[in-house]
Amino acid sequence: MKKLSSRLDSVIEKDRLIITSETSSLIVYDLKRLLDSYFNVEGEVNLTVNEGVGGYDLIVTAKASSIKNFKILSK
């Protein structure tokens, strides 16, 4: 009975860790806006979230045609 309870707790915890499509879409939207500040992004930005050791492994992929020039503001 204790093993079943432990397994159930594990399944519930893994279900809680799954990122929803709405959350993923919001994160991708924010990442695209951020990347567009520094690069000329072409196409889609993709996000993969995997359970890692002690947290999550995030993999962001995007294609850019160039890096934008920007000036550093002086004091």
pLDDT value at residue 29: 96
Integer Cα distance of 67 and 40 in angstroms? 6
Q: Taking the domains of the chain in order of start, what are their residue ranges?
A: 2-67
**What would the two tokens of residue 73 be?**
């503001």
Residue 41 CB coordination number (10 Å): 19
Position 45 scores a pLDDT of: 97
pLDDT at 9: 58
Separation between Cα atoms, residue 35 and residue 28, nearest integer Å = 10
Q: What is the pLDDT along the chain (75 residues), one digit of tens a residue?
A: 666 666 655 555 555 567 888 999 999 999 999 999 999 999 999 999 888 888 889 999 999 999 998 777 666
pLDDT at residue number 52: 84
